[in-house]
Chains A and B, each alone.
Chain A
Amino acid sequence: MKFLCVALMLALISCNPEKQWQLHEIIGHLPDLHFSLLSDTGQPVTEQTYQGYLVMLFFGFTNCKAECPTTLFRLANIVRRLGDHANRTRILFVTLDPGHDTPEVLQRYLTAFDAGHAIGLTGNEGAIEDIAKRYRAAFRLKKSDSGDIVHSAAVYVFDPQGHARLLITPADTTETVEDDLRHLLDSFRP
């Protein structure tokens, strides 16, 4: 019965004529924001800490040479373009290399991109695996210093109530992302 409902939901979504988002819409397909990690200031944080903020969540590690700095630079730029809305937005960077990325390392790294809005999150392997699995993001613990770390390219967007709403991909332009985020924030005016 549960599967039938999901199949029906899938059919209804695929025939929805009014698609108002330019980014991938994921509402109803991924669970609400939920985690229990350590922030880059060393404080324990959960999804409650970011209640009321539009959250852009993504997975990476500070030793990443290409994708992570590019994505962070891009997200920081988008947040700046949001103007007044920037204060209602948070970039959550979850490390996939907890052995290396301590809160201090994360803070130093993220300050270079956006000290005000980007927050690094770390924790024990179990907590990181839980959040990665929850959002279907690849995560395997690094075995040696030389080993590559696999990571997802998507940025998951959660609305201020913590519902998964949109997926930002590397192919989306800055303007598209900015438009959709603005639209989402407008629909949640305090």
Chain B
Amino acid sequence: MNPLQWLIPWETSFAIAAVTAITAMLFIKGSLRCKLLFRQKLYFWAGLLSLYVVSHTQIDYYAEHEFFVHQLQSLVLHHLGPFLIVLACPKDALSAGCPVAVKRLIRKVSAWKPVQDSIKVLFHPVTAVTGFVGLLIFWLLPSIHFIAMLDWRIYRLMNWSMVLNGLMFWGVALNPDSIRSPGSRISMMLSVVPPQILIGALIFFAPHELYPIYTLCGRAFTGISSTTDQQIGGLILWTQGAMMSVIGILIVIRKELRQPLMER
């Protein structure tokens, strides 16, 4: 396949194209007004681009037809992409890039009591951890996974929910704020590790095919058996999911160690 052909979306989604383009435009506009560090820009573009590439190119075909590629896609959608975007702290730039009317609307909506209450609940560390692990387990339940890979609407819902949940979780865990202590943020990242290791290991050691939908719809690579595919997929979740938490924890610790120096 010609390298450019890889960029053609396997299944065109107006929503993915529009959200990516709007976010990119807001960031470009905003970064002209705000002073951003080079690494902030680098993290943001790497995050946004990685989300786009795994969901709106030919890679999506392989994610639909090979379990381990699907796991790699989920890793980017739920972990790496949102992690990088949050690490870039793009809130100020995105807000500066927003038209005044939209900013006013956001301010109005976020001042509304029920919205504030829901944000408080959704962004509570316990809810964030439960939501993060719960969503991961939900989409990997064999009966749910079967339908998600068959029905394109549920497939899209799965991918969108992973990105939004990822942004929420890493947003709470990585960004320093006045409400959550570094300790509680580190505990958040630590507590999502064991469930991911456990699910990954359960998939890896499963004696039978947990996700026959890949055989039914056809696997992308003929040389990889269904067992090997499932084992690689389990291994990815087992090791890589936990690794993102470790990186996150190191970043929080590093920021905390630097804090007193900067204050002095």
Contact = CB atoms under 8 A, between A and B. Distances in A.
B149 A136 contact: yes
B11 to A, nearest CB: 7
A2 B218 contact: no
A140 B143 contact: no
A128 to B, nearest CB: 13
Contacts of B64: 136
A7 interface: yes
Nearest to A28: B151
B142 interface: no
Interface in A100-131: none
Contact of B217 (A3, A140, A154, A171): A154
A2 B153 contact: yes
Nearest to A138: B218
Interface stretch (A40-48, A72-80, A145-153): A145-153
Interface residues of B, number: 27
B151 A30 contact: yes
A139 B151 CA distance: 17
A10 B150 CA distance: 12
B65 A150 contact: yes
A153 to B, nearest CB: 5
Interface stretch (B27-35, B46-54, B100-108, B154-162): B154-162
Interface residues of A, number: 29
B154 A150 contact: no
Given A6-B154, A133-B11, A138-B65, A14 B143 contact: yes
Contact of A150 (B10, B150, B222): B222
A13 B150 CA distance: 15
A136 B219 contact: no
A183 interface: no
A136 B70 CA distance: 14
A12 to B, nearest CB: 12
Q: Which of A29, A149, A169 has the most CB of B within 10 A?
A: A29
A184 interface: no
B217 A138 contact: yes
Interface of A: 2-3, 6-7, 10, 13-14, 24, 26, 28-30, 59, 133, 136-140, 148-154, 167, 169, 171
Interface of B: 10-11, 61, 64-65, 143-144, 146-147, 149-154, 156-157, 160, 212, 215-222
